[in-house]
């Protein structure tokens, strides 16, 4: 099985909803609408493709683009030794996309990281809360419009009962 076989199967199954993207490194890369994420992911998870590993999930911020955010999912199939990259745009005015925690359990922490750093919400996530920043932290530090020297509200330290 080759990368082109996966792309052909996706375009046959999802018609115009999947757009292949040229990749100079040979990986299969597709662009989809965010509403098609779960059906495409479920299709790729099943045999004969068996993309059972979600290697990584990240977000890219393009402040002047429409849509502003681009979610990038890196999948790997152990049985075919192939990689697929899925890209889906997420608008700034409604930064929400479906959670993939029901398909790949490791999406849990990856989605929490993106929520914390970029502010993209994942509908259906079982425990969407900050992962790195404290609860009182304001904003999302990996957005390109986040102020470099923004001051944050101070919170009391735990166990700091100075009596």
Rounded Cα distance, 88 and 59, in Å: 10
Burial degree of 114 (CB within 10 A; 0-12, 13-18, 19+) = buried
Q: What pLDDT is attached to residue 153?
A: 62
Inside any domain, residue 12 = yes
- Cβ pair 110, 85 in contact under 8 A: no
Inside any domain, residue 133 = no
Q: What is the per-residue pLDDT across 68-119, written as a single tens digit (0 to 9) for each? A: 999 999 999 999 999 999 999 999 999 999 999 999 999 999 999 999 999 9
pLDDT band at 4 (very low <50, low <70, confident <90, very high): confident
Inside any domain, residue 162 = no
Q: What pLDDT is attached to residue 161?
A: 57
Inside any domain, residue 86 = yes
Phi, psi of 80 (to 5 degrees): -105, -10
User: Residues 48-82, buried b or exposed e (16+ Cβ, 10 A)?
Assistant: ebbbeebeebebebeeeeebbbbbebbbbbeebeb
Inside any domain, residue 34 = yes
Structural domain tally of the chain? 1
Q: What pLDDT is attached to residue 150?
A: 66
Inside any domain, residue 156 = no
Task: Kindly report the pTM of this predicted structure.
Answer: 0.89
Q: What is the per-residue pLDDT across 131-154, written as a single tens digit (0 to 9) for each? A: 998 888 888 889 898 777 766 666
Owning domain of residue 37: 3-123
- Cβ pair 120, 96 in contact under 8 A: yes
Domain with residue 66: its CATH number is 3.30.460.80
Kindly give, in sequence order, each residue whose CB lies less than 8 Å from that of residue 158, ignoring residues fewer than 6 positions away: none
Q: What pLDDT is attached to residue 152?
A: 64
């Amino acid at each position: 099985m080759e990368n082109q076989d996966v792309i052909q199967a996706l375009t046959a199954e999802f018609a115009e909803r999947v757009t292949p993207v040229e990749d100079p490194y040979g990986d299969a890369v597709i662009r989809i609408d965010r509403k098609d994420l779960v059906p495409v992911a479920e299709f790729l998870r099943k045999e004969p493709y068996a993309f059972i590993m979600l290697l990584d999930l990240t977000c890219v911020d393009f402040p002047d683009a429409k849509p502003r955010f681009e979610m990038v999912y890196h999948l790997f199939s152990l049985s075919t030794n192939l990689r697929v990259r899925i890209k889906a745009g997420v608008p700034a005015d409604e930064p929400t996309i479906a959670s993939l925690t029901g398909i790949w359990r490791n999406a849990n922490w990856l989605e929490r990281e993106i929520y914390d750093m970029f502010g993209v919400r994942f509908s259906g996530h079982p425990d969407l809360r900050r992962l790195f920043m404290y609860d009182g932290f304001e904003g999302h530090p990996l957005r390109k419009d986040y102020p470099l020297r923004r001051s944050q509200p101070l919170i009391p330290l735990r166990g700091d009962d100075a009596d």
